[in-house]
Structure 1
Amino acid sequence: MHCPAVLLLLLPGGAEAFRICAFNAQRLTLSKVAREHVMDTFVRILARCDIMVLQEVVDASGSAMSLLLRELNRFDDSGSYSFLSSPSLGRSTYMEKYVYVYRSHKTQVLDSYVYEDEDDLFAREPFVARFTFPSKVLHSLALVPLHTTPKAVEQELNALYDVFLDVSQHWQNRDMILLGDFNADCASLTKKRLGELVLRTEAGFHWAIDDDEDTTVRASTHCAYDRIVLHGERCQSLLRSAAAFNFPRSFQLTEEEALNISDHYPVEVELNQAAPRVQPLGPALPLLLLLLPPLGLVA
């Protein structure tokens, strides 16, 4: 006998998902986003996410983000977007910003700070932010973005564990997501060295983007550079899915057209806003069926 009404009672589906994304926007400048086809694609990528962490924003004036946000709010009228930007970060004349773009009707920034990198281990130290989260299970969530330099991937990713400890102490909360272009694959980091990272050997960290995922646009490369790592039982219990977003395929772009946007795919996770997933009932199912009133189903 097929009993869809009972299945509906048991499955956790139907709850709205909250999507958190990270995207290396490859030298995002005002002149870049001013090009119509580039702006159009960026807006459609951003509109998929409730919180997006952009990296490689190199527009010192902030004009690029202001223009991008204006067009994003015009494109998607389901609710307003806001952004939070770090100062320009770097060791030389080349500087980058981390920028959070978020749906301000669904989440708000509670606090933020640039990690104090006393030993200068990071080329671009993380700009950490704590957001409200629309769930009874998890009321707030810390995000820790990092864009590593390919020359020091292992050093920076191991130092990211110290950032995790600092954030945990700062906000007395271990539910957080570490995300960004980690350069954690191919020539920048071998599989052996990846497995030896503190974030891989210490318990409690879930690498949501698989090691064999391709987060690069070029057909000639297959590398899982961009990652999302979850920590905290409540945070991990809400995980619904994780993937790279193949925007050239979704938007029917050629490789050349896509490379005008970025040579990276965005990576994203979807979190349930409801309670954690319901575990299968197993032997308890027949008892539940006996307790339910007749449904008038035909065998």
Structure 2
Amino acid sequence: MPFVVAFPIPMMANLGSPDVMELHLLDAWSHLREMRFLILLAVVAACSLQVSHAFKIAAFNIERFDAHKVDDPVVLNLLIRILRRYELIAVQEVMNANDTAIKRLVEELNVATGLPYNLLISDHLGRGSYREKYVYIFREDILKPTEWYHYDDGCENCGSDSFLREPFVVRFSSLTTGLKDFVLATIHTSPDYAVLEVNALYDVWEDAKQRLHTENIMILGDFNADCSYVTARHWPMIRLRQDERLQWFIEDGGDTTVSTNNNCAYDRFVVSGAEFLNALIPETAKPINLQKEYGLTYAEAKAVSDHYPIEIELRKDELYNGQLFGVDSSFGISGGLSLNGVCDCAGVDFASCDGRCGAYSRTFPCSCNASCTSYSDCCTNYLAFCKP
């Protein structure tokens, strides 16, 4: 229905002299201009409201996120400006073990927005001294995590696990989107074994389908899936890319990095399930160039991260009635411990890198990690199995 406004026009009878008539006409014209301005403001406000209520999911590798970033007021302010764009954010490279920095970031986000964000935190994942956490930051009033687990990728102690940092899988219930139930699996692959780990994400997808009884799954995060880590010749051997039931977002050759020296689409969304795919708004998947979006210098953007966030938008529920979830009294939800597989090491050939890429221990007879060539202690088949 067209938007119609009736403007009061003074009656032409008994207006008196021409000068008086002119004054009445000028007054009517002034009133008309004022009304048009008010209508314009209403339209702008409505458009702004519509944009602010768009449901967006993001993945963001915040390079080595720790207390240094929240202690820097400029970086903290930029992170809040970025995160407030989204209802749900999957963060990689959260470094500090006690979670104080990431909790403080979300607390500051809540103060800045007046909205109840909470966070779900994975185990401290990795081999050796370098470890990370995955964190889901979410609008607690409209989203609820209902199930979560770390993917069981094999025995870390034996070196037979598939990922340096196994994916953290979470099921969400959503009030405001047409898609009410969906699963996210967050990953930050090892650049040294990106081909093998991106391929192994296919097993994560299969496992999530069987465990959670749904096809509506998105794998998201820093795949390191471009440039020298995953090249054109590798794609045919990557099952996650070859299965037609899985749709990739963020095109090859796109740029999800702050660096001015390359154009690498390291960060990706991969989605399955007809309901999930239909729920996505076309052409909304993109990296957010921080320099252009916020008018930053290269140094300012790099202080935040070496990666751009990537985002994608879900269709809203047109029948949403304003219902909200209750806010949990606990702030910062623990995702529990990673199981790291069954670790009896029965049948494991410690002299082979077959299924053990990245394996290292002083007790192993040889190594399958990226630095073994520097120390001349690689297993004899390291290149054959770990450098496709």
- Asked if Structure 1 and Structure 2 have the same fold, meaning a TM-score greater than 0.5 normalized by the shorter chain, the answer is yes
Contact 2:256 2:263 in 1 (8 A): yes
Q: What letter is aligned with 1:100?
A: Y
Match of 2:196 among 132, 152, 155: 155
Secondary structure of the equivalent of 1:200?
A: helix
The residue type paired with residue 134 of structure 2 is Y
The correspondence for 2:207, drawn from 152, 159, 166, is: 166
> What is residue 56 of structure 1 aligned with on the other side?
93
Are 2:121 and 1:85 aligned?
Answer: yes
Unaligned runs of 5+ in 1: 6-13, 276-299
Alignment of 1:17 onto 2:58? no
Please tell me whether residue 250 in structure 1 is matched to residue 287 in structure 2.
no
Give, in whole Å, the separation in 1 of the partners of 2:299 and 2:279.
Answer: 37
> Equivalences for 1:39-54 in 2 at 5 Å?
39-54=76-91
Name the SS of the counterpart of 1:161 in structure 2: helix
Closer, same or farther: CA 72–37 of 1 in aligned 2, 3 Å: same
Q: Is the 8 A contact 1:89 1:125 kept in 2?
A: yes
Q: Residues 42 and 242 from structure 1, CA distance in 2 versus in 1: closer, same or farther, beyond 3 angstroms?
A: same
Deviation string 1:103-126 (CA, Å, 9 cap, x unpaired) is 111111111111111131100000
State the one-letter code of the partner of 1:233.
A
SS of 2:313's partner is: strand
Deviations 1:208-231 (A, max 9, x none): 111121101111111000001111
Structure 2: which 5+ runs fail to align? 4-49, 155-159, 319-388
Q: Deviations over 1:145-172 (max 9, x none)?
A: 1100011011101111111111111110
Q: Which residue of 2 aligns with 1:281?
A: none
Identify the residue that residue 222 of structure 2 maps to in structure 1: 181
How far apart are residue 138 of structure 1 and its match?
2.4
What CA deviation, in whole Å up to 9, does each residue of 1:8-58 have, x standing for no partner?
xxxxxx795321100010000012221000100111111011110110000
CA contact 2:226–2:253 (8 Å) conserved in 1: no
Separation in 1 of the partners of 2:72 and 2:187?
Answer: 27
Going from structure 1 to structure 2, the CA distance change for 1:248 and 1:139 (only over 3 Å counts) comes to same
The structure that is strand-richer by fraction is: 1
- State yes or no: 1:113 paired with 2:157: no
Whether 1:274 aligns to 2:317 is yes
Separation in structure 2 between the aligned mates of residue 195 and residue 257 of structure 1, nearest angstrom: 38
Q: Does 1:217 align with 2:258?
A: yes
- Rounded Cα–Cα distance in structure 1 between residues aligned with 2:252 and 2:98: 37
Contact 1:137/1:234 (8 A) holds in 2: no
Deviation per CA, 1:170-221, whole angstroms, max 9, x where unpaired?
A: 1101101100000000011102213431111112111111112110111111
Quote how far apart the aligned CAs of 1:133 are.
2.3
Provide the rounded CA distance (Å) in 1 between the counterparts of 2:205 and 2:302.
Answer: 33
* Higher-Rg member (1/2): 2
Conserved 8 A contact 1:216-1:263: yes
Aligned residue number for residue 75 of structure 1? 112
Matches within 5 A, 1:95-134: 95-118=131-154, 119-134=160-175
1:29 aligns with 2:66: yes
Whole-Å separation in 2 of the counterparts to 1:237 and 1:192: 31
Taking structure 1 as the reference length, what is the TM-score of the superposition?
Answer: 0.84
CA contact (8 A) 2:245 2:272 kept: yes
Q: Mean alpha-carbon deviation: is it higher for 241-250 or for 258-267?
A: 241-250
Residue 82 of structure 1: SS of its match in structure 2? strand
Q: Secondary structure at the match of 1:59?
A: coil
Tell me the distance in 2 between the aligned counterparts of 1:64 and 1:50. Answer: 20
Deviation at 1:137, TM superposition (A): 4.5
2-structure distance, mates of 1:231, 1:133: 18
Q: CA deviation at 1:238?
A: 1.3
CA contact (8 A) 2:177 2:314 kept: no
Residue 206 in structure 1 maps to residue 247 in structure 2: yes
Supply the distance in 2 between the matched residues of 1:194 and 1:267 (Cα, whole angstroms).
Answer: 21
Count of paired positions: 264
Q: Give the whole-Å Cα distance in 2 for the aligned partners of 1:195 and 1:213.
A: 20
* Structure 1 residue aligned with 2:183: 142
Tell me the SS of whatever aligns to 1:130.
strand
